[in-house]
Amino acid sequence: MAELRYHPLTKDWVMIASHRQNRPQMPKDWCPFCPGSGKVPDDYEVYEYDNDFPALSQDPSEPDDVANDFFKVKPAYGKCEVILYSPGHTTTLPELTTQHITKLVNLWAERFEKISEDEKVKYVFIFENRGEAVGVTMPHPHGQIYGYSFVPKKIQLELDSAKEYHEEKDACIFCDMLKEEEKFEQRIIFKNEHFTVFLPFFTEYPYGVYVFSNAHKQNIAEFNEEERVALAQTLKETVGMFDSLFDYNFPYMMCMHNAPVNGEDTSEYYHFHIEFFPPMRSADKIKFNASSETGAWAHCNTTAPEAAAVELREAHEKFLKKMDQ
């Protein structure tokens, strides 16, 4: 069964995908993403792979007969893709060259545009889950792309805030946020000509950095060649920074926020950015989302962003020195 069920209290859609419970456990000595598996080309650098157990489909089955005048359902329409970063089974993102990661950025942009061609898709979400702490069982470096037939609630809240700010101040809330962070300086981790990495004033996670494009652009496909190379380098340094923080492969959720597609023009007030949600609050302690965070969306960060920024800047410098050796 795969369908969308409407949540009347939050005005959001929930994906019901019970068929994913039946996904087989992969043999320990076999990986479908490795060359020679028969599932992917024997020779590739980066690769798009259609998810074998998608929560969303462009040919969805009819929902179960559970709806009525109060409870709403609709088909689980959309697209689910896996993006393979490298043929190396245990290769990490910082170990890849900037040139290689640029090919990944280009593939993300290509798939963003392709999925956006489907007028039923309203939001294209590029993301990565990394590490056992966030439930990942497949170490092969990869991320995913979901094409939703609706705009998810968090994105809608961002859009509403950005639109309201633009109407009040005739300015982009993201551009102004970046200006304020640059003015304060203490939460900036590093920057280059095209991207800035910082711990937001309000970050919910101790090491929850954001990556903002310095230019006001709406989606990854709008970046020119120079900006794509800069994004590749920025991601390499960001993940390398995380890995250098406690000297192990740092778990995280990476969420790329592009503007919605096939809907209202948001170009004046929406702004490309990436949000990282690393679950670690220290080298050996996980920050769990407990009742306040989960039930009330009232987050509590036990580390001052300004203090964590110092740690991350030191980790970034450590990674850069390692690269130079």
Q: Which residues are catalytic?
A: 142
Q: Which residues contact 236 (CB under 8 A, 6 or more apart)?
A: 93, 94, 96, 98, 101
User: Which residue type does 305 have?
Assistant: P
User: Which residue type does 24 have?
Assistant: P
Which SS3 state, helix, strand or coil, does residue 45 take?
Answer: coil
Q: Are 274 and 211 in contact (CB under 8 A)?
A: yes
φ/ψ of 3, rounded to 5, equals -160, 170
Distance, CA of 146 to CA of 121 (rounded, Å): 10
DSSP-derived letter for residue 263 is S
Residue given tokens 């929902």 in the structure block:
63
DSSP-derived letter for residue 60 is P
Q: Identify the CA nearest to 73 among candidates 141, 165, 145, 5.
A: 5
Per-residue exposure over 99-113, b if at least 16 CB sit within 10 Å of its own CB, e if not: ebbbbbbbbbbebbe
Distance, CA of 129 to CA of 54 (rounded, Å): 16
DSSP-derived letter for residue 27 is P
Give the number of other Cβ atoms within 10 Å of residue 204's Cβ: 16
Q: Are 247 and 318 in contact (CB under 8 A)?
A: no
Alpha carbon 265 to chain centroid, angstroms: 22
Beta sheet of 12-17, edge-to-edge order = 12-17, 2-7, 73-75
